[in-house]
Amino acid sequence: MTTPRPHTRNALRIAASIALASLAAPAVADPFPGADLAVAKQMHAAQCVECHAKRFGGEDGSEIYTRFDRRVTTPSGLAQQLTACTTMLNLDLFPEDEHHLAGYLNTHYYKFQ
């Protein structure tokens, strides 16, 4: 029986450490999987920016998402807020559209995982 060489043992230890670390690391999940960000960007520009800019300032209305006291603090809160805006403003968006918008807003502003 042959004994593994020192450099082989070190390589095995490193590989085992990496494997264990990857198992221990928390999985980062996308709260809005499959969101079409390109479509959402266009919807956001057409449906959201004008109102948000008037109410919250900024050229693109993004201050609503970045303000200190923003009301959306979770992925589910973001989805609920989008549904509320869609309903109140009678935007006639489908649930898939809201999902795309949630993914877009999360990617660019909220960064929920």
Separation of alpha carbons 14 and 29, rounded Å = 27
pLDDT above 80: residue 43: yes
Tell me the C-alpha to C-alpha distance, in Å, between residue 29 and each of 34, 50, 87: 12, 31, 28
Cβ 101 vs Cβ 44: under 8 Å: yes
What average pLDDT does range 53-73 have in this prediction?
Answer: 88
Supply the pLDDT for residue 12.
Answer: 57
pLDDT above 60: residue 25: no
Measured N-to-C along each axis, helices 37-47 and 49-56 cross at an angle, to the nearest 10 degrees, of 60
pLDDT above 60: residue 11: no
Domain boundary assignment for the chain: 37-110
Supply the pLDDT for residue 34.
Answer: 96
Choose the most confident range, by mean pLDDT, from 7-16, 40-49, 64-73: 40-49
pLDDT above 80: residue 80: yes
What average pLDDT does range 30-51 have in this prediction?
Answer: 95
Whose tokens are 């809160």? That residue is 77
Cβ count near 64 (within 10 Å): 21
Mean confidence (pLDDT) of the chain:
84
pLDDT in tens, 96-108: 999 999 999 999 9
